[in-house]
């Protein structure tokens, strides 16, 4: 299940060192995101987050210092390419952590745990199975995501689905179109931005005495 949005692909160990700050031997069992690094650095440097957009990341400072045991993420959205494939929810009123899948990859061979014919699981319609209603798991009781919940096994099943669907809609509405990272202005080399003591006439050529 590696390289997928199942827990086997998400629960990847991360190591952070901050001498004199992070308590020795601290272990954190909370999922985090690469997007959390931006607000973390901003907080550590005393800066202010932009107010003209939604920041999906959450600062990790309290977790790293051991002053908090839980992430500030109530919802986490797991993408497959450009599409939200799954959403994780930690309700504030109970101890369970739920995860809902809108679609899952078509593993091959059947009943395996990977896409061994293509070496990577794709997100296009021919390579996925859409679930309606979505697959819902209680990660606290079923971290291997082997037994989907049903109205018979979870009394709040329909309310959980509605809450998570509403969170996905709110998340999608918060997205703003951005310029493609592959546009001409982004891919052309910009030698004047190189971290060296160059000039217009001598790009990236530094004198030793300087």
pLDDT in tens, 140-152: 999 999 999 999 9
Is the residue at 204 inside a domain?
no
The answer to whether residue 59 sits within a structural domain is no
pLDDT (tens digit, 9 = 90+) per residue, 8-55? 888 888 899 988 999 888 999 888 999 999 999 999 999 999 998 889
* Distance between CA atoms of residues 33 and 31, nearest Å: 7
Segments forming the whole domain that contains residue 133: 73-175
Phi and psi torsions of 77, nearest 5°: -110, 125
In a domain, 210, yes or no: no
In three-state secondary structure terms, 201 is coil
pLDDT (tens digit per residue) in 45-91: 999 999 988 899 999 999 999 999 888 999 999 999 889 999 999 99
Domain assignment present for 205: no
How many domains does the structure of the chain reveal? Answer: 1
In a domain, 85, yes or no: yes
Average pLDDT, the chain: 89
**Does 101 reside within a domain?**
yes
148 lies in some domain: yes
**196 domain-assigned:** no
Contacts of 204-207 spanning 24+ positions with Cβ under 8 A: none
C-alpha separations of 112 from 1, 28, 109, 180 in Å: 9, 30, 6, 36
CATH of the domain at 103: 3.30.1120.10
Q: Are 27 and 64 in contact (CB under 8 A)?
A: no
């Amino acid at each position: 299940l590696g390289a997928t949005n199942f827990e086997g692909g998400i629960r990847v160990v991360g190591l952070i060192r901050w001498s004199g700050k992070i308590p020795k031997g601290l272990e954190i069992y909370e999922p985090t995101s690469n997007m959390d690094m931006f607000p973390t650095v901003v907080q550590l440097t005393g800066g202010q987050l932009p107010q003209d957009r939604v920041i999906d990341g959450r600062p990790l400072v309290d977790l790293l210092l051991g002053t908090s045991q839980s992430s500030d993420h109530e919802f986490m959205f797991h993408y497959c390419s450009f599409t939200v494939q799954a959403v994780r929810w930690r309700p504030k009123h109970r101890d369970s952590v739920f995860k809902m899948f809108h679609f899952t990859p078509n593993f091959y061979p059947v009943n395996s745990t990977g896409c061994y014919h293509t070496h990577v699981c794709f997100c296009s319609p021919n390579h996925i199975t859409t679930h309606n209603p979505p697959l819902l798991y209680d990660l606290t009781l079923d971290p291997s995501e082997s037994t989907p919940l049903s109205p018979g096994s979870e009394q709040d099943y329909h309310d959980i689905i509605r809450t998570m669907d509403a969170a996905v809609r709110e998340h999608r509405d918060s997205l703003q179109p951005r310029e493609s990272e592959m546009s001409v202005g982004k891919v052309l080399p910009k030698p004047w931005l190189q971290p060296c003591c160059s000039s217009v006439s001598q790009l990236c050529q530094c004198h030793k005495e300087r």
